[in-house]
Amino acid sequence: MNESPERVECLIIGSGPAGYTAAIYAARADMKPVLYEGMQPGGQLTITTDVENYPGYPDGIMGPEMMDNFKKQADRLGTDIRFGMITSVEFNSKPPHKVWVDGQKEIVAETVIISTGASAKWLNIPSEKKLNGSGVSACAVCDGFFYRGSDVAIVGGGDTAAEEASYLAKICNKVYMIVRKDEMRASKAMQHRVENTENIEILYNTETDEILGEMVVEGVRVKNNVTGDMREIPISGFFVAIGHTPNTRIFKDFIDMDEQGYIKTIPGSSKTNVEGVFACGDAQDKIYRQAVTAAGSGCMAALDAERYLSSKHFAESA
Ligand code: NDP
């Protein structure tokens, strides 16, 4: 016999700063939120080191510790936090909406808050896939330790690449930073930091042709896209830091998105095109993408969901 679906008032999908903040507000509003953590509990900040720009921590805090604090706070206030992935959804024109957990368990939700964040992009060259986990990584903070004292390379010219290059420079012998244009996209402060770090060599106008090595990374072949010159550099770690893709694929048949897959919300709110479905955090923000803005938008989503439910219940009881 099929189990009847569980009914919840407020379902939160994702466990970064947006999801946990939504949970804190929803729990305090007595919406009995159920939060599914997804594949990377705690989200992107769990693969970061120091967070120095989140207000309230005068000495900074480590990303994983901060996310642990978010979780504890959401838990203490009564969020039902569960390990699991939402693998598909069926949103109707009006709630209740249906979602499935790990391809099996069905949940029927009065309100859904999407806070699924974004994931790292890859170069998509064959050697990157072949050597993933054997010297290729998208997280310097997670894996840099394995290359202590060695030479490594990092691809990308944004703030993430600059920050991770600085991090790697502290533990590795030498860091090659592979930047495809003749300038970096990173903030001036971060550019200045990498340019002034002795053991970081920035290779501008340079693209990765192939990562070298059979079982483990042994080097990288790069191409200067102005001169066409190829060069092989011996390295043992290859880090990719070229941006992110929003984790919104499972919603695409129901929710309006832009061409990159970022969810469209009604300006000044977290409302999506579907009644009772709200979006917050990096899944709907390609501009700011900060922990503090994600948390702020999580608060908005919970308040919007709470107001939506209250007006619905009021209308039903009138
Ligand atoms: P960005 O999108 O800002 O930068 C991506 C970088 O990767 C760019 O230099 C881009 O090059 C390069 N790139 C993209 N695709 C490829 C490719 N296929 N091959 C080679 N290079 C490629 O991503 P980030 O993750 O760096 O940053 C995301 C956001 O988060 C930004 O808004 C950033 O400011 C913010 N951030 C803030 C931090 C902080 O404040 N402490 C820390 C980290 C991130 P090109 O410029 O040529 O397109």
Q: How many Cβ atoms from other residues are within 10 Å of residue 62's Cβ?
A: 16
From ligand 1's centre to the CA of 198, what distance in Å? Answer: 22
Would you call 142 a catalytic residue per the annotation?
Answer: yes
**What is the C-alpha to C-alpha distance for residues 147 and 170, in angstroms, rounded to an integer?**
11
From ligand 1's centre to the CA of 155, what distance in Å? Answer: 10
Q: Which atom of ligand 1 is nearest to the CA of 287?
A: 32
Would you call 10 a catalytic residue per the annotation?
Answer: no
> Residues with beta carbon inside 6 Å of ligand 1?
53, 123, 155-161, 163, 180-181, 185, 242-244, 289
The model carries a pTM of 0.76
Domains of the chain, earliest start first? 6-119+244-317 (3.50.50.60), 122-240 (3.50.50.60)
Q: Which is the catalytic residue, given 68, 75, 80, 139?
A: 139
Q: What is the pLDDT along the chain (318 residues), one digit of tens a residue?
A: 467 899 999 999 999 999 999 999 999 999 999 999 998 899 988 866 677 789 999 999 988 999 999 999 999 999 999 999 999 999 999 999 999 999 999 999 999 999 999 988 999 999 999 998 899 988 887 788 889 999 999 999 998 899 999 999 999 999 999 999 999 999 999 999 999 999 999 999 999 999 999 999 999 999 999 999 999 999 999 999 998 899 999 999 999 999 999 999 999 999 999 999 999 999 999 878 789 999 999 999 999 999 999 998 888 887
From ligand 1's centre to the CA of 123, what distance in Å? Answer: 13
From ligand 1's centre to the CA of 184, what distance in Å? Answer: 9
136, 155, 185, 289, best to mutate for ligand 1 pocket (most atoms within 8 Å of CB): 185
